[in-house]
Every structure is written in C-alpha cells, then in structure tokens.
Amino acid sequence: MFYHDDRLQYEVEVEEPDPVFAKLLQQAIGGVEGEMRVALQYFFQAASLPDEHAEYREALMDTAAEELGHIELLATAVTKNLQGAPLSPSDAEAGDGLATFGGMQPRQVLSTGLNALAVDSNGVPFNGSWIVGSGNLAADMYANVMAESTGRLLATRLYEATDDPGMKDMLAYLIARDTMHQNQWLSILRDLGDPEELLDVHPIPDSFPDEVENGEFNYAFLSTNVEPESDPGAPWTQGESPDGESEFSFLSQQDLEGAPRDVAPADPRTYNDPAPRED
C-alpha cells in the first residue's frame, strides 16, 4: 500500500518564475535521467524479489516511494516557474510566436494550463522501456547506480542553469539524495559479496556454468582495428581479471578465422528478390 502525506518532501520556492527553466526541469521528471524512471524502476525491481530478499525489497520500495515525492517536488517547481508565463503569441516577446511561447513548451499551456507534464525537456513522452527490472538483484543494482549517476549529473547541470536561490536549494537537496542512493545501491552489492569487494557476484549471472561458456573468448579483449596491432599492455588486455577467475588476453580481429555468412535464398513468397518471380 501507499499513503500520501499532503506535504512536500522538501521546500520548493521560486523567487523569479522562469518558463524556460520550467522546460528544462521537465527532463528531471520525464526524461531518461528523470525521477519517473527511477521511481518505476525501483518499484518493479522490488516487486520481482521473493521473501528471502525482503530487506532488499524494502529498501527498493522505500526509495521508489521517495522518488515519487521527488516527482511531486519537480512538478511543483515547474508550476511555480510557469506563473505569469505567456498564454498566447501576443503575450510572448515580439517575434517569438506560437511555436515557442517565449521559450517554454507550448503543451505546458495547451495541455495542462501552465503545469508539468510526463515528458522530457523536448516534449517527448516518458518511455517505460527505459526501466530496468531484470529479476537479478546484482544486475539491477548496477543499473540503479548508473541511473542515479546520470540523474545526479542532470541535477548538477540544472543547478548551474539557474540563478534562482530557491531552485538551487531544491536541486542541492536532490543532488544530496542522489549521492545517498548511489551509495546505498553499492552497499547492497557489497552485501551480496565480499564486504571489501564488489566483484564476487561477477560475471552476472554467476550461476551460469563456467564449463559451458566459450573459454577461448571469455577473457580476451578484441581489437577491431583494420590494421593488426600488438597488445598495448592495458589492465584489460593482460593480468588477472577483476573477478579473479582468469587472466586477460589480447586478440586482433585478424586472429579470428571468421566464417562465411552462408544464408539460404529468401522464400520467393517474401518478394525480396528484385527480379521477376519465376513460377
């Protein structure tokens, strides 16, 4: 169950409304780096966990609910930044016209009456295919660290894009929460493996039998340069692999035997052949 408290998670104040900044804030709501993504990602990851992982499920669900609160913060910030925004081309600056409404998103006028949308800063609707919920807890934690990293990067860019003290204060809060979330997902990864290492659960899934894997290529770095090159001696081309299970090696694509494509002709009924069909 979810319960809603009619209070914002953190204060949202806008001293000087800025409809252009409201457009930028949309990325943090419905963009690929935004709060809708992580809220739903953590929700579906939690829903996939069995009771034996109840403590991880609780952490995911708690944070999913927190991210819903972040959507509420940002939606409120969008509304406050749209106060006094132009409602028609004649309200906008001369020469601006209907297409941009003074630099804001037209749909923020036309579809919501000066409120937030479930879209990104270009007006593209939120896409549920961005959500990662693989059912493998370790894989999902890496996806979560990436999501929080790009979300924090976005928040820092938004912070630099405004001079409004209230918006900077709200974004500083969101940046701080992203710091925590990155660390909590890394802590779960550590809890899944050795306390001092994050690599005991590698490769993901580690339950696949090693003897079935192609042992010639599972730790070989492949150079795909046209001209053959020698091993550069990089940490990923020689030495022990991070998971401790093998040694890295180096291959150039010229070392591969390759194989002919050997694809049969298309079925005539597909009409793939540009020549006339012969019956």
Within a domain: 218: yes
The answer to whether the bond into 19 is cis (omega within 30° of 0) is no
In the DSSP assignment, the letter for residue 242 is T
> What is the side-by-side strand order in the sheet with 239-240?
220-223, 247-252, 239-240
Write down the pLDDT at residue 16: 94
Both tokens of 100, joined, read 């941009």
Residue 157 has pLDDT above 90, yes or no: yes
Note whether 106 and 166 are same-domain residues.
yes
Q: 112 and 46 share a domain? A: yes
46 and 209 in contact (C-beta within 8 Å)? Answer: no
In a domain, 270, yes or no: no
pLDDT, tens only, 84-93: 887 876 666 5
Question: Do 155 and 250 belong together in one domain?
Answer: no
Give the predicted TM-score (pTM) of the model.
0.84
Would 81 be classed as within a structural domain?
A: yes
- Residue 271 inside a domain? The answer is no
Domain contains 269:
no
Confidence of residue 202 (pLDDT cuts 50, 70, 90): confident
pLDDT at 242 over 60: yes
Q: What would the pLDDT profile of 96-106 be if each residue is shown by its tens digit?
A: 444 456 677 88
- Indicate if 186 and 218 belong to the same structural domain: no
pLDDT at 28: 98
Q: Locate the DSSP E strands across the chain.
A: 220-223, 239-240, 247-252
What φ, ψ does residue 166 adopt, rounded to 5°?
-65, -40
**DSSP code per residue over 159-203:** HHT---HHHHHHHHHHHHHHHHHHHHHHHHHHHHS-TT-S-TTPS
- Residue 113 sits in the same domain as residue 234: no
The answer on 174 and 42 residing in a single domain is yes
Judged against a pLDDT cut of 50, whether residue 250 lies above it is answered with yes
How would you write 251-279 as a 3-class SS string? EEHHHCCCCCCCCCCCCHHHCCCCCCCCC
Q: In terms of domains, do 42 and 140 share one?
A: yes
Is the per-residue pLDDT at 269 higher than 60? yes
Please check whether residues 66 and 146 belong to one and the same domain.
yes
Residues 111 and 237 in one domain: no
Q: Which of 145, 166, 192 is the last residue of a domain?
A: 192
Task: Judge whether 274 lies within some domain.
Answer: no
The answer to whether residues 77 and 26 belong to one domain is yes
Residue 197 placed within a domain:
no
The predicted pLDDT at position 98 comes to: 43
Peptide bond before 205: cis, by omega within 30 degrees of 0?
yes
Q: What is the mean pLDDT of residues 159-172?
A: 95
38 pLDDT more than 60: yes
Q: Do residues 24 and 79 both lie within one domain? A: yes
Tokens matching residue 18: 């800025």
The yes-or-no verdict on residue 233 having pLDDT over 90 is yes
Query: What domain range is 101 assigned to?
Result: 19-192
Dihedral (CA of 146, 148, 153, 157) sign: positive
Say whether pLDDT at 175 is over 60.
yes
The CATH number of whichever domain residue 65 belongs to comes to 1.20.1260.10
pLDDT of residue 100: 55
Instruction: Specify the DSSP element, H or E, that contains 21.
Output: helix 19-30
More confident residue, 134 or 192: 134
Total number of domains constituting the chain: 2
Pair 214, 151 in one domain? no
Q: What is the mean pLDDT of residues 9-36?
A: 96
